[in-house]
């Protein structure tokens, strides 16, 4: 149950786009579309932003989008806003009938 691999940090200026990668294996990301993304501002509980690779729950802005290619999933945030500054985590269902999270990525809006 090794954690999925995310970059520790990414940054961008307001209005720009950033992409956060999430690399797993053929036993998790590569084999299932059960990939989710979560946003966690400091001191708060996580919030679901994307589920099933590319679906947005109601209320999540369409500036947030998800995709997957092979063993790597990606979260793209376009039109960056100051309020997007937070930690972001990916997660995937696995062939062991467990779930695994990524190590998290800190997004800084410059």
Partner 1 sequence: QVRLVESGGGVVQPGGSLRLSCAASGFTFTSYGMHWVRQAPGKGLEWVTFIRYDGSNKYYADSVKGRFTISRDNSKNTVYLQMNSLRAEDTAVYYCAKDSNWGCHDWGQGTLVTVSS
98 binds partner 1 (CB under 8 A): yes
Identify residues 2-31 at the interface with partner 1 (CB under 8 A): 3
Q: Which of 32, 56, 78, 85 binds partner 1 (CB under 8 A)?
A: 32
Write down the least CB distance from residue 96 to partner 1, Å. Answer: 8
Applying CB under 8 A, which part among 11-19, 48-56, 62-70, 72-80 lies near partner 1?
Answer: 48-56
**DSSP letters spanning 9-22:** EEEE-TT--EEEEE
In whole angstroms, the minimum distance from the beta carbon of 17 to partner 1 comes to 24
How does 87-108 read in b/e, with b if 16+ C-beta sit within 10 Å? bbbbbbbbeeeeebbbebbbbe
How far apart (Å, rounded) are the C-alpha atoms in residues 45 and 39? 9
């Amino acid at each position: 149950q090794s954690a999925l691999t995310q970059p520790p940090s990414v940054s961008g200026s307001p209005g720009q786009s950033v992409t956060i990668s999430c690399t797993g294996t053929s036993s998790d990301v590569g084999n299932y579309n059960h990939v989710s993304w979560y946003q966690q501002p400091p001191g708060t509980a996580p919030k679901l932003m994307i589920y099933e690779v590319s679906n947005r729950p109601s209320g999540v802005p369409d500036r947030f989008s998800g995709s997957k290619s092979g063993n790597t999933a990606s979260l793209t945030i376009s039109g960056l806003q100051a309020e997007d500054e937070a930690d972001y985590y990916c997660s995937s269902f696995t062939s062991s009938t467990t779930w695994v999270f990524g190590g998290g990525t800190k997004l800084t809006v410059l």
